[in-house]
Amino acid sequence: MTLTLTAMRGYPGSGKSTKAREIANETGAVVVCRVELRKMLHDNYFTGNKDREAEVTVAERAQVSAFLKNGTSVIVDATHLEPSYLRKWAKMASQYGAKFERVDMDTPAADCIRRDHARQLTKTAGRVVGEDVIKRMAKRHPQKNWPDIQAPPTFTPVPVEWVDGLPEAIIVDIDGTVAHMDGRSPYDYTQVHTDTVDEHVRWLVNLAASIRYDSVVEARDLPYPRVLFVSGRDDSCRDETVKWLANHGIQFDELHMRPTGAKDGNGNKLPDYLVKSTLFDENIRGKYNVRFVLDDRDQVVNLWRSLGLKCLQVQPGDF
């Protein structure tokens, strides 16, 4: 059976948990329920605490990831009214080669309120959220505005071959690798000049770049690596990025960046690994022999390794 990650979506009381269990019984999938994780971790179905919710998210993602890695299909039972939550699951499914499915429970808010009230009389009384909460959710996320979140497009990695005679290169990521955000949002490209430099990565990059100036290399016309930055940043901040690299004394030969506004066929922002796959094919494949790659994010590290490249992951990148 096809490995599948299914995400439920709906208001509290819409029947998500019942439907999730039905699907699990039919397909052999397991259910990961956010509400039950709250109860298990914090002895409460609703925490209302940002730090505790973050802990629930860690447990939720860890469970789903572990099951997919094991080849077990998963159904994630949560409201998923924020589109970003669904997009994260869609990306995870793609990373594990799983099919992504979304099940919308479009039960009217009035019926959800009625069902929620009825819970007070049953053993699920602890899961009552209250009429006001459901009304606020319905007002903020009316069903007619629920976006059609789909899985990002997939690709089949084509391994890279070493071609004698091609110039050599190293590939280096920017955000999270040579540059670290110091309080700015990852998508606030107007503030990239505030990023701090990673001293260790800068040292390694400049060491590689300096090989070309070695007297023996010059005298014998030996190969030396070019430094190619490949970034998931929008190229709208190209000038600021080049200036930042120069201000921090980082040597490089080429800078390849995400085309501004790059989206898939469903209007979703392309994930970094697909952007970098395209940048690699268009600018590096068949033009350079790559000695190694420096990157941090798991999905991109997995991409480079799937191409047969040696990728040195500079820090944990499960995000």
pLDDT digits (tens, 9 = 90+) for 165-210: 999 999 999 999 999 998 888 888 888 999 999 999 999 999 999 9
For the question of whether the overall pTM of this predicted structure is more than 0.75, the answer is: no
277, with CB counted inside 10 A (0-12, 13-18, 19+), is buried
pLDDT band at 43; cut points 50, 70, 90: confident
Give the whole-angstrom CA distance, residue 131 versus residue 127.
Answer: 12
Give how far the C-alpha of residue 209 lies from the chain's centroid of Cα atoms, to the nearest Å: 30
Question: Which residues touch 261 (CB under 8 Å, ≥6 apart)?
Answer: 234
- The one-letter code for the residue type at 183 is G
What's the half-sphere exposure (Cβ side, CA atoms, 13 Å) at 118?
9
Equal fold, 4-145 vs 168-313: yes
pLDDT band at 154; cut points 50, 70, 90: low
pLDDT band at 237; cut points 50, 70, 90: very high
Q: What angle do CA 194, 196, 201 make, to 5 degrees?
A: 145
Q: Is 176 in contact with 317 (CB distance < 8 Å)?
A: yes
User: What is the per-residue pLDDT for 125?
Assistant: 56
* Fold observed for domain 4-145: Rossmann fold (3.40.50)
Mean pLDDT of all residues belonging to the chain: 90
C-beta atoms surrounding 39 within 10 Å? 16
Q: Pick the more confident residue, 124 or 12.
A: 12
Give the whole-angstrom CA distance, residue 168 versus residue 116.
Answer: 63
What backbone torsions phi and psi does residue 193 show, to the nearest 5 degrees? -70, -15
Residue 187, CA distances (Å) to 193, 233, 236 in order:
13, 8, 11
Domain ranges of the chain: 4-145, 168-313
pLDDT tens-place string over residues 292-307? 999 998 889 988 998 9
Superfamily for domain range 168-313: HAD superfamily/HAD-like (3.40.50.1000)
User: What is the pLDDT averaged over residues 8-16?
Assistant: 96
pLDDT tens-place string over residues 59-113? 999 999 999 989 999 999 999 999 989 988 998 888 787 899 999 999 999 999 9
